[in-house]
Amino acid sequence: MQVGLLSNVIPFIPGRRFSFMKSKLFNWSNLRVQLFVALSALVGMISIGTVVYHNMEGWSWADSFYFSVCSITTVGYGDLAPTTEGARLFTAFYVLVGVAVAFTALGVLGANYLRRSQEILLGIRSVQESEEADV
């Protein structure tokens, strides 16, 4: 069947959902791996935006970085704005992708924090229960 043939090339075809996550290269269920990938994507997005705005708008590196961070975190102070059509078009796609990457990275960071907090609290509870059992 053709779907089976294509599913080896494109991992998102139904029937082989998320087969890329079964890779032996990474353990995708590990939160540290997820955190590393999410933060790397976030840093990559900010870097791409900084370079593009520096080259397209002629802004300083600091202004380009500032605008990139403000754009993908949806802050948008309005003190800087792209003036060329190319930069505006880039900004439209950059914000769509960047916001998704930023919120995903923050979500993974929050999940990692909650998991670590839960592990610490469960560790404290088990120590208290073992001390009570000894009494």
pLDDT digits (tens, 9 = 90+) for 69-100: 999 988 888 889 999 999 999 999 999 999 99
CA distances, 130 to each of 96, 118, 123, 125, 135 (Å) = 51, 18, 11, 9, 9
DSSP alpha helix (H) spans, 11-84: 31-57, 61-72
Distance CA 121, CA 23 (A): 32
10 has a pLDDT exceeding 50 = no
Domains of the chain: 24-134 (1.10.287.70)
Query: How sure is the predictor about 9, in pLDDT bands with cuts at 50, 70 and 90?
Result: very low
Of the candidates 45, 20, 32, 29, the one whose C-alpha atom is nearest the C-alpha of residue 98 is 45
pLDDT, tens digit (0-9, with 9 covering 90-100), for 12-37: 444 444 555 555 555 656 777 888 88
What is the residue type of 88?
A: R
CB distance 38 to 26 below 8 Å = no
